Amino acid sequence: MATQIVMNHTGDSRHFFDQTDPDGLARAERRFKKLIGQGFTAAARTAAGDLKVVRTFDPTADETLFYPRLVGG
């Protein structure tokens, strides 16, 4: 089961999907594109446990984190 973790000002929300389910993959890819379009940064966890920024949906990623755009002032 893969996870998309969306960080926000209240903590995070987690979205789980089965990587072998075409419908689940389609929903996950739509969520990825929507969040990227809203300015979130996506990072996938590597096998070593590090995070690597990704710009396209990776259906094989077990965990993808989405960070909101930072607002300075």
Domain count, the chain: 1
Helix boundaries (H) for the chain: 22-37
Query: In a structure prediction context, what are the per-residue pLDDT tens digits for the chain, which is 73 residues long?
Result: 999 999 988 899 999 999 999 999 999 999 999 999 999 999 999 889 899 999 999 999 999 999 998 776 6
Contacts of 38 (CB under 8 A, 6+ apart): none
Q: What is the pLDDT of residue 10?
A: 87
Asked if 69 and 9 count as a contact pair (C-beta separation under 8 A), the reply is no
pTM score over 0.85: yes
Q: Identify whether 43 is part of a domain.
A: yes
The domain of 48 spans: 2-67
The alpha carbons of the chain give a radius of gyration, in whole angstroms, of: 12
**Is residue 44 exposed (0-12), middle (13-18) or buried (19+ Cβ within 10 Å)?**
middle
Assess if residue 73 is contained within a domain: no
